[in-house]
Structure 1
Amino acid sequence: MVKTIGEVAAELGIEAHVLRHWEDVGALTVRRDHHGYRVYDDKAVEQARTVLKLRRVGLSLPEATAAMAPKKSSAQAAVRAKIAELAGEVVQRQEAITFLQHTVECRHRYLDDCPECATFVREA
């Protein structure tokens, strides 16, 4: 079964121009009919769905394109790089939570008066 760009966009909850852009940058391959209109077969719809999911989990469009590379090792390398980046962000967020939690519970009136807060600040 084939679908139009509008049908696919509606199904995925995105604008048609987004699908056109993905095609323009090489993240999506869509065939054309004899009139030049985009025709989305099941494979193209699944490819668009994959790009959308990768974008929603935090990959940039170039990263998503790399994660869909035909060569599995290349795709895995792109995904591993993103995992490492996200893991680093998790560590930074956890450190921020720890610091902020301490400031909420700190018995000192001013953060400058607290040796633990000073230690957190110096670790930046």
Structure 2
Amino acid sequence: MRTIGQAAAELGVETHVLRHWEEVGALAVLRDSHGYRIYDDQALEQARTVLKLRRVGLSLPEVIAAMAPKKHAAQAVVRAKIAALEQEVVGMQQAITFLQHTVECRHRYLDECPACERFVRAT
């Protein structure tokens, strides 16, 4: 059993983050006889899962849905996030391609370059 401070330190987050996760329903925490939060191994593991899902880009509503008891609903949220991340990767790759071209471009100004013009018009 851990206090909220101990759990937060172990997870590397602030205590207000754990309180917020509990308030929005992303985390279930036990209370002692005085009403203080106590984090058992299960609550800590749940918090680790929330933290990992947040770090890979899910919003808290998405985290809650991804942790839903119904696997089909959880998978739908995760699939949607995968698709969004794949789109971000495509966009980043296009940005890298454009920037690499601008570094190697033989034209003094980008607006003199037909290839740069095509990149600009494509976005």
Instruction: Provide the TM-score with structure 2 as the length reference.
Output: 0.96
Q: Which amino acid aligns with 2:90?
A: V
In structure 2, the residue matched to 1:74 is 73
CA shift, 1:41, in A, is: 1.2
CA shift, 1:11, in A, is: 0.4
Q: Which amino acid aligns with 1:38?
A: R
In structure 1, the residue matched to 2:102 is 103
In structure 1, the residue matched to 2:39 is 40
Aligned residues: 123
In structure 2, the residue matched to 1:8 is 7
Q: Which amino acid aligns with 1:21?
A: H
CA shift, 1:87, in A, is: 0.6
In 1, the alpha carbon distance for the partners of 2:112 and 2:14 equals 54
In structure 2, the residue matched to 1:54 is 53
In 2, the alpha carbon distance for the partners of 1:110 and 1:39 equals 62
The superposition leaves residues 39-79 of structure 1 with CA deviations (integer Å, 9 ceiling, x where unpaired) of 21111110001001111111111111111111111111111
CA shift, 1:112, in A, is: 1.3
In structure 2, the residue matched to 1:88 is 87
Counterpart secondary structure, 1:70: coil
CA shift, 1:111, in A, is: 1.1
In structure 1, the residue matched to 2:116 is 117
State the percentage of identical aligned residues. Answer: 76
Unaligned runs of 5+ in 1: none
